[in-house]
Amino acid sequence: MNFTRWSARLPGTQRRAAARTEQTASPDRRGEGSVPAARAERPTDESPSVPAVDELRVREVLDRVPSLVALVHGPDHRIAYVNDAYTTAFGVRPLGERAREALPELDALGLFPLLDQVQRSGKPRTVKSRKAPDGRSYTFTCIPVAEGDGKGGSDGRGVLVFATDVTDHAEAAERLRASERRQRETAVTLQRSLLPQELEQPDDLRIAATYHPGGTEAAVGGDWYDVITLGGGRTALVIGDVMGRGVRAAAVMGQLRTAVRAYARLDLPPHEVLQLLDGLAAEIDANQIATCAYAIHDPNEGKLVYSSAGHLPILVRDENGTVLRADEPTGPPLGTGGWMHASGSIPLAPGSTAVLYTDGLVERRDADLDEGIAALERALAGATGTPQVVCDRLVRSAGVTPDHDDDVAVLVLQHPARTGADGELFRNAALELLGGVEAAPRARAFASGVLTSWRFPADLHDLGVLATSELVANSLQHGTPPMRLRLRRTDRRLIIEVTDGDDHLPRRRRAEPGDESGRGIAIVATIASNWGCRRTPGGGKAVWCEFALPRTQTT
């Protein structure tokens, strides 16, 4: 093989030769007044002779380069040359033999299809960081070269293979990837530990949720959801998304979720909860913002009352398959400050399904966000079954895969339409109360008749009547009209609630022996499983208590 001729076809050789010719042909001209250019020192007669690049023999160069070099020619890739570095790495290789048998290391690396491609196309190709049988990693560059004048077709064409040892770089990259995997695993573990390990299941709702971490390295973010039973049959539902990725976003999410649960215990309207959360988010990290939607379901109102801080709209599918999208109000994300949030509502009648979700479910880089929400609406319109089935169908319809580039959190809730024997376990009764001395006896008689018709045992009947009497008496003494008594039973509990027009919330206090009042709430707190109070929209308050039903009452 003529290495001098083959080297003339290596990339860059012709360019360098042309540059040297141009420099030789250009005389050293200096105009009048110009600054003399710096010139290299001319070699003296005593200086050792340095050969020009053109005078160097290609084989001498290739023999001394640290890269592994092999030359194969012909359609069956017969070995024409291997340099010393190649021999040191893989041993002596016989010249003239077919490379497929004589260079098994290239076969193990899957390079022969690449050699065929380079020989056919006449274009160089490179494959990065392949691990060879010797345990080292190499980047291979295959360059087409032609023997003689290059007119011999494929028989006169060969391939020069350069293999650069990149083991150190490959190991450093692998260490980096391992570190990123550990960081991501830590973030995923933290994220999942901060999410509810088991969703609360309210009496009147059926709920399911799912969380899918982003599939890219360190893509875990701060998506979260929560279900909080507020007492009195009411339930708070939360979904949020902390901007950013990694452990920091997950940690901020955990703080916000804990704060939401604490604020929810105050039983405030949704917009007031977000107002408190907004201030806390700014204190946690002024540079970290989050979106959040907070909704409250009251089975007696047949709707979701919600407030949104920059979050995507809640979707509700009614029993006929029509999907509604929650409209305004929507405020800015949490942590921005200076905004007064407001509450809105969307119907949630029996038979309806509501979906709360984060942007990873509907946002795509190549599509408008509204298109993603519209696609989710269409998927929800045809989604039936249990909340978990609906949840899974929505995730599949959105094309969420293990390598999805963003976190996805979805919360699905259903308000079942109960009929027959199941419907008998969910009953309501209400009485409008007028002031005067007859209000308390009338309320007690009403409660006694209702609890008897619901077939409660005698002890639970008597406790319910006593609690009704104390709550009504407290409202008559400290509240203002209009007053209303409401009794509700579910498959798990009896709920007694009294509302009036005064917004002063009662509190449990210890009555002294000589006090003539102050014992009513203490009595209710003692006999009931739970009790509480809250302010109602438009002014006024509601005071309620609950009694857990015996198992025989829930079957």
Condensed to tens digits (0 to 9), the pLDDT of residues 262-271 reads 999 999 999 9
Nearest to 7, CA basis, from 78, 74, 69: 69
- Residue 48 is predicted with a pLDDT of 56
Who's near 223: CB < 8 A, 6+ residues apart? 191, 211, 240, 241, 242, 253, 358, 360, 407, 408, 409
Q: Of the ranges 217-221, 237-241, 455-459, which one carries the lowest mean pLDDT score?
A: 217-221
- Residue 53 is predicted with a pLDDT of 57
Can you give the length of the chain in residues? 555
Condensed to tens digits (0 to 9), the pLDDT of residues 50-70 reads 556 566 677 878 888 888 999
Report the distance separating Cα 117 and Cα 448, nearest Å: 91
CA 140 to chain centre: 38
pLDDT higher than 70, residue 137: yes
**Which backbone phi and psi does 473 adopt, to 5 degrees?**
-60, -40
Q: Of the ranges 173-182, 211-220, 303-312, 415-424, which one carries the lowest mean pLDDT score?
A: 211-220
Condensed to tens digits (0 to 9), the pLDDT of residues 343-383 reads 999 999 999 999 999 998 998 888 889 999 999 999 999 99
Looking at the DSSP bridge assignments, the partners of residue 483 are 433
User: CB count, 10 Å around CB of 382?
Assistant: 11
Ramachandran sector of residue 341 (left: φ over 0; alpha: ψ -120 to 50; beta: rest): beta
Average the pLDDT over 168-188 and give the result. 80
Condensed to tens digits (0 to 9), the pLDDT of residues 213-228 reads 776 554 566 889 999 9
Task: Give the pLDDT band (50/70/90) at residue 510.
Answer: low
Distance (Å) of CA 454 to CA 234, 470, 487, 549: 22, 21, 11, 12
CA angle at residue 257 from 269 to 296, to 5 degrees? 30
